[in-house]
Structure 1
């Protein structure tokens, strides 16, 4: 599900959950728990399986469960994103494949994102499915995406190539060996851990303060998820996935 190794003082997390790293409750719980700080590591590198960073929520699994299961999945996605955003050391993503919807948000929650060159896409399509963006998702967007591109990224359901992802803040740079560069960067930042921690806290403050002010919006997401309009769009998306 997640292959975890320690390289020096850095925990390297390689997501390996099915072909697309689609997010179900066990997977999201593993990601969230892996990013709880302890004394064994100072920083994190998060990467995928070479084809997918993560395809986002497992929609089929979500459709088959009840409301309580859906609530737990969305709440745990929020916990994973918040654990990454508030982790006291550096968290660097090596985006090595498609990062869609919740998978894109997982990348945006990291401090720095290094992509590999290739034919993959990053983007958020929640609005096209008739869904709200929870407050934790907006917090991740606000800390990375330039203000004048936030409407485009969250509302237009566009998908970006690695090169296109840089101007909108989804990626910071591209490297042929993203994982190696991510480990190098995380190690370097962890070598100045105390000042980095203070800097990260200050830089994240505006997005986190808005998140705390707005409060948790998981219930709102679930209510919108249950509407006939959203269900019709989601079912159409599921049928399209089954045929592809």
Structure 2
């Protein structure tokens, strides 16, 4: 049964054993490109999850919780709706970055079940989760802004940096714009497991059920640990602005060297 059935997503509870586990299915056209409206719907779904978690009886809250995000078809997400982002500026980017910060620090474990391509803003969205499981046969993860001629703003670069911490992998991902297959992403360390597309939903649910007890009693402990662990990233997502490298005056500083 759907808890929310909005134009571009559906929220449900996939586990009869743990009511605190939620499944968020993305369905914004064929590519799940992020628009202001899509970000607002995801935020609305996160609000609904918080409301339910806050009202679960103690015997159910004790079991903890988790959130799975996924989609169907070729794309998990093909990133931002670029033309809208360019036209709308801060009105577009700031809500998107607040949404990423919220996923990054969500009060329960988060699992990205990557059903297909996760490019650019879609890759960042997947990286914001705690666990990533990806279908083995099709799909890539890539930060292809370099090929699109679009710079990364501070918060976006930060969320990639905090989840991809091997220098050679980070270089290949962000500077080169490499497309990582599922197995290459596992080998590089930023995807946890590959499975067949038929097993993707069950594998994601298994991760969710395993991690749900870490949020036992649904306190703020997991949120606080994530927020402190990713403090620099959260600050750049929320206060770094939308000027690429502008917040440190990089060009001016380099000109003086």
Fold match, TM over 0.5? yes
Identify if the C-alpha distance between structure 1 residues 131 and 115 changes in structure 2 by more than 3 Å, giving closer, same or farther.
Answer: same
Cα displacement (A) at 1:158: 1.0
Tell me which residue corresponds to 1:79: 98
Matched, 1:161 2:161: no
Offset from partner CA, 1:30-63 (integer Å, 9 cap, x none): 1233224514243210002231100001124345
Mapping of residues 1-244 of structure 1, within 5 Å? 1-7=8-14, 8-36=19-47, 38-41=50-53, 42-63=65-86, 65=87, 69-148=88-167, 149-176=169-196, 177-194=199-216, 198=221, 201-202=224-225, 205-212=228-235, 216-221=239-244
Task: Give structure 2 stretches of 5+ with no counterpart.
Answer: 1-7, 54-64, 247-257
More displaced stretch, 115-124 vs 185-194: 185-194
SS in 2 for 1:45: strand
Task: Give structure 1 stretches of 5+ with no counterpart.
Answer: 224-244
Identify if the C-alpha distance between structure 1 residues 71 and 159 changes in structure 2 by more than 3 Å, giving closer, same or farther.
Answer: same
Of structures 1 and 2, the larger Rg is shown by 2
Say how many residue pairs are matched: 219
TM-score (norm: length of structure 1):
0.79
Offset from partner CA, 1:123-158 (integer Å, 9 cap, x none): 001233333323322332233213322222111111
Cα displacement (A) at 1:206: 4.3
TM-score (norm: length of structure 2):
0.75
